[in-house]
């Protein structure tokens, strides 16, 4: 919108006067504006030269090429710096107002720029929601939840498992017990067994140990 307004100002200020044979009047007004700017710049340069001529301190050292200035600022220089800062800020703000990844505020006041704050918030959201550990954890939770629902809804859930054949918990426990007793035969003396099972178990352990 600002660029369109600038284009309209250039059109009505420069193009249309030339089209309607009013170029001399337009050049006269443009010349007056340029003359005013030139006078201001000339006064600033003249003031700096006068300050350099009358307000110089003696050289601090013999090897110094220039004398240090006692006055390093002036009213016109400060006014010109203020206007230039305003103009540059307006130009940069006009070009950067549509960018949320760049702030138009100075350092320390970025929080006042809502666009820049939204950009930083989006970066934080992307960081937290695309964290590999978090994504993997959520994937594990979702997979376990689906398997539990499938187990509850399907009677023959073991047939739908892709991990392999179904093994009962009792058989797995017996197999671990057998492996433990084979590796530690002395533990058989401390086990309570039913009558008739001790001799059979000892024979199995003996056969397994010999093999």
Report pLDDT for 90: 82
Rounded to whole angstroms, how far apart are CA atoms 202 and 194? Answer: 13
In a domain, 103, yes or no: no
In a domain, 40, yes or no: yes
Most confident option among 20-34, 159-173, 191-205 = 20-34
Question: Which residue range forms the structural domain that includes residue 11?
Answer: 2-57+69-98
Rounded to whole angstroms, how far apart are CA atoms 188 and 177? Answer: 11
In a domain, 19, yes or no: yes
In a domain, 173, yes or no: no
Q: Is the pLDDT of residue 209 over 60?
A: no
Report pLDDT for 19: 83
In a domain, 114, yes or no: no
pLDDT band at 105 (very low <50, low <70, confident <90, very high): confident
CB atoms within 10 A of CB 113: 18
Rounded to whole angstroms, how far apart are CA atoms 60 and 119? Answer: 52
In a domain, 50, yes or no: yes
Check: CB of residue 53 under 8 Å from CB of residue 46: no
Tally of domains in the chain: 1
CA distances in angstroms from 145 to 29, 34, 134, 142, 158, listed in the order given: 78, 76, 16, 5, 16
Report pLDDT for 195: 56
CA distances in angstroms from 117 to 57, 91, 125, 157, 169, listed in the order given: 49, 21, 12, 51, 56
Contacts of 76 (CB under 8 A, 6+ apart): 40, 43, 44, 47
In a domain, 62, yes or no: no
How confident is the model over 51-71, as pLDDT tens digits? 767 766 666 667 777 766 655
End-to-end CA distance of the chain: 90
CA–chain centroid gap for 109, Å, is 18
How confident is the model over 147-159, as pLDDT tens digits? 887 777 665 545 5
Using CA of residue 120, residue 123, residue 127, residue 129, what is the dihedral sign? positive
Rounded to whole angstroms, how far apart are CA atoms 209 and 203? Answer: 10
Rounded to whole angstroms, how far apart are CA atoms 53 and 8? Answer: 47
Of 124, 81, 89, give the one whose Cα is nearest residue 106.
Answer: 89
Rg of the Cα trace of the chain?
44
Report pLDDT for 154: 60
Q: What is the SS3 assignment for 5-26?
A: HHHHHHHHHHHHHHHCCCHHHH
pLDDT band at 116 (very low <50, low <70, confident <90, very high): confident
In a domain, 210, yes or no: no
How confident is the model over 142-195, as pLDDT tens digits? 988 888 877 776 655 455 455 555 667 788 788 888 888 787 777 777 776 655
Ramachandran angles phi, psi of 20, nearest 5°:
-95, 25
pLDDT band at 139 (very low <50, low <70, confident <90, very high): confident
């Amino acid at each position: 919108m600002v660029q369109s307004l600038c284009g309209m100002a250039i059109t009505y200020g420069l193009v249309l006067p030339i089209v309607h044979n009013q170029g001399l009047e337009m050049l006269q007004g443009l010349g007056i504006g340029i003359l005013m700017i030139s006078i201001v710049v000339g006064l600033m340069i003249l003031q700096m030269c006068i300050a350099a001529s009358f307000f110089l301190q003696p050289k601090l050292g013999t090897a110094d090429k220039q004398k240090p200035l006692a006055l390093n600022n002036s009213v016109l220089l400060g006014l010109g710096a203020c206007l230039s800062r305003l103009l540059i800020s307006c130009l940069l703000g006009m070009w950067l107002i549509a960018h949320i990844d760049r702030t138009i505020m100075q350092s320390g006041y970025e929080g006042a720029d809502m666009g820049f704050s939204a950009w930083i918030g989006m970066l934080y959201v992307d960081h937290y929601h695309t964290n590999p550990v978090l994504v993997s954890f959520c994937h594990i939770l979702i997979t376990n939840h689906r398997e539990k629902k499938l187990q509850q809804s399907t009677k023959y859930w073991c047939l739908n498992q892709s991990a392999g054949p179904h093994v009962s918990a009792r058989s797995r426990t017996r197999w671990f017990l057998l492996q433990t007793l084979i590796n530690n035969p002395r533990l058989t003396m401390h086990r309570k067994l039913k009558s008739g099972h001790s001799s059979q178990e000892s024979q199995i352990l003996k056969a397994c140990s010999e093999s």
